[in-house]
Amino acid sequence: MVKEIERAGIPVVHIATVVPISKTVGANRIIPAIAIPHPLGDPNLAKQKQKEIRKELVLKALEALQTPIDSQTVF
Amino acid sequence: MGNYRVVHYLNQFFGQIGGEEKANISLRVLDKPVGPGNAFNNALGESTEIVSTIICGDSFFNEHKDEVQAEIKEVLQDIKPDLVIAGPAFNAGRYGMACGGVAEVASGLDIPVISGIYPENPGYDMYKQFAYFVETSNSAAGMRTALPDMVNLVKNYIEKDGDLGLPEKEGYLPRGIRRNTFVENRGSKRAVDMLIAKLNDKDFKTEYPMPDFDRVDPVEELKDIENATIALVTSGGIVPKGNPDHIESSSASKYGKYSIEDIYEMDKLTHETAHGGYDPVYANEDPNCVLPVDVLRDLENEGKIGKLHKYYYSTVGNGTSVANAKAYAKKIAKDLLEDGVQAVILTST
């Protein structure tokens, strides 16, 4: 899916836990996530703390979108 | 007692420990065949025996790959099997990656591995050189044919003392390995024969299929993010409560487009996951941990991004065929372009 969106000319960042799969499917901008069932949260933490971590990941994703790259990059 | 000793690798489901709620269990070893291992053991005959079964949760394996691989190495060094059977994994992505990961370790110890996989499973492409993968169907319903196919390959492997012939002849998927071989005609003649066949619209078979490099070059970076519209897309199956479009929990035949206008965070009362390939407890409790609407709203309010697009798109990436995923994303991208979206955050579970 990432590849087709990128093919259409839209920059896309992939937030995914299993980075090797993300690479195989051809994502170019990759953000490693927390865990498979909760990529952007950690149920062991309090709600507010979870949101802080989520924000960090999303900010990292936005950073990746604004970074020029010429090949697959894990941020 | 058999004299050909086999170790079998299974995930938590086929290892009869549990479903997705057990996908995070760590590695364990039992000194007997388990689940499909019993059928393998019977079909393999008396001289071959599954002496141990390694079981690990699919999520645990993929989230702790190095650690699990180190443990598997120790187990294999300890048991010293003649062969490892992994799976079959069908089109289960994490399971396929795990079977491949096992094969990588075993291969490093010179232990042959026979597994079964659907060719679109990412585990095949990633680990094909480390195992002999029998082609299976995309779901566990194909166990009935996968099992005898794998047994045949194991038997052949043993009979030929590891000297298997070409993939299509022996019934395994190409491993991307080239070996020297003697043929009747020299290369120039074979090439001309092929060309003549091609010119006459007749069937011909290349001796070296070109690898499928379907890569898309990175698009230029996003500029002026403070004024950009950013959309969320997910393969994690987040849908409005009740799953109004009935997106399937696996092998999804569709995607959904849902409005998040006036929604400031994902709430368990209004949204849930339709995904059947991971433990849904966390996503159902707090869908923001798959689809981060809450923080994107905050960033929108802080002026860090222009706007969060008013729709998000969702499908279930669980055994979904590559062709379908491609088609969905193509339509989604077209939609997004028409709506003037400048960048996408795609989340996967």
Tokens of B188: 């120039």
A70 interaction partners in chain B (CB closer than 8 Å): 217-218
Read off the pLDDT band of B1 (50, 70, 90). Answer: very low
Cβ distance B333 to A5 less than 8 Å, yes or no, reads yes
pLDDT tens profile A29-65 = 999 999 999 999 999 999 999 999 999 999 999 999 9
Interface of B with A in 26-55 (CB under 8 A): none
How much is the ipTM here?
A: 0.96
* Domain boundaries of chain A, sorted by first residue: 2-74
If phi > 0 it is left, if psi is from -120 to 50 it is alpha, else beta; for residue B327 that is alpha
b/e sequence A10-42, b meaning 16+ C-beta within 10 Å: bbbbbbbbbbbbbbbbbbbbbbbbbbbbbbbbe
A66 interaction partners in chain B (CB closer than 8 Å): 221-223, 225
Residues in chain B: 349
Q: How far is CA A25 from CA B4, B32, B262, B282, B342, in A?
A: 38, 37, 33, 25, 22
CB distance from A30 to chain B under 8 Å? no
Pick from A10, A26, A70: CB nearest B343: A10
User: Would the pTM of this model clear 0.95, i.e. be above it?
Assistant: no
Q: How far is A30 from chain B (nearest CA, A)?
A: 10
Q: What is the CATH number of domain B4-170?
A: 3.40.50.2300
pLDDT tens profile B280-314 = 999 999 999 999 999 999 999 999 999 999 999 99
Secondary structure letter of residue A57 according to DSSP: H
* Domain boundaries of chain B, sorted by first residue: 4-170, 225-347
Best B226, B229, B295 member to test A by mutation, with max A CBs in 10 Å, is: B295
Give the model's pLDDT for residue A31.
96
What is the C-alpha separation between B164 and B186, in angstroms, rounded? Answer: 24
Cβ distance A6 to B216 less than 8 Å, yes or no, reads yes
Read off the pLDDT band of B2 (50, 70, 90). Answer: low
- Name the residue in chain B with its Cα closest to that of A24: B122
